Amino acid sequence: MKTITLLTDFGEKDTYVAQMKGVILSICRDANIIDITHEIIPQNIEEGAFLLMNTVSFFPKNTIHVAVVDPGVGTDRRGIVIETEDFKLVGPDNGLLIPSAKKYSRFRVFEITNQNYLLPSKTHTFHGRDVFAPVAAYLAQDTDIENVGEEIHDYVDLDIWMGEIKEDRIVGKIMHIDRFGNAITNIEGKTILEHLEYDNRVLISVESREYEMPFVKSYGFVGKGEKLLTIGGNGFLEI
């Protein structure tokens, strides 16, 4: 049984995710389909890439990850499959998949061109269902990746900026706000630990507003509703 994961910005209100799952199961009936999330901010490629990058390594080897955050759907934007030594990625050629692939020193990228692996009724606005879902299902049935299309090297690249040290401050970006209200940044915990100790108080500036708060090991070291800094489960600084 092959595991196929789904990450999209489709949300849970509509039937889009269910249609993708239906296509996958119609082709590969024993697929194990896991939802990573469908709550990416609409069309936010960087957030999708960041969350995918932080998730792929927790799945079994040979998992197929389908990611769809695709503002360019229906244009000349290509569909691609990426092969690493541990997993495959399927989705649009807009940078979404690349940070996950870059966790490995070697990976190959293939453009999806073989119409035999797409739905016959392919539309211009729903490649998640009509292109990426069936391709993932066929790959789960051990279809050779080279049958999907030609290898390419001019794919759209995306680097996730990991924050930086500027003089007396560490500068980063909020990448995602989780359901608990934690603002997860792109600042790696190892960078923080090189410059701060636990229980240090830190001045934080967010959109020209300043806040002072402690840097602690976990949430329980402050009172309910109090602000804090900590290194989250994925190794990034959280506010």
Q: Please write the tens of the pLDDT for every residue from 175-189.
A: 999 999 999 999 999
CATH number of 164-238: 2.40.30.90
Which is higher by pLDDT, 203 or 168? 203
Instruction: Report domain extents, the chain.
Output: 3-152, 164-238
pLDDT at 120 over 90: yes
Q: State the average pLDDT for the chain.
A: 95
Is the pTM higher than 0.85? The answer reads: yes
What's the rounded mean pLDDT across residues 129-141? 98
pLDDT at 105 over 90: no
CA distance 140 to 121: 21
What's the rounded mean pLDDT across residues 75-103? 97
What's the rounded mean pLDDT across residues 77-87? 97
What is the reported pLDDT for 112?
99
pLDDT at 76 over 90: yes
HEC assignment per residue over 22-54: HHHHHHCCCCEEEEEECCCCCCCHHHHHHHHHC
What is the reported pLDDT for 95?
98
Residue 164 pLDDT class (50, 70, 90 cuts): confident
CB of 184 closer than 8 Å to CB of 178: yes
What is the reported pLDDT for 169?
85
- Segments of the chain assigned E as strands: 3-8, 32-37, 63-68, 79-83, 87-92, 108-111, 151-152, 164-166, 169-171, 174-177, 183-188, 201-206, 209-214, 230-231, 236-238
CA distance 167 to 234: 26
CA distance 24 to 196: 48
CA distance 131 to 122: 7
pLDDT at 114 over 90: yes
> Which CATH number among 3.90.110.10, 3.30.1180.20, 3.40.50.10790, 1.10.1760.20 corresponds to the domain 3-152?
3.40.50.10790
The DSSP code for 134 is H
What is the reported pLDDT for 165?
83
CB of 59 closer than 8 Å to CB of 35: no
pLDDT at 129 over 90: yes
What is the reported pLDDT for 35?
99
The DSSP code for 129 is I
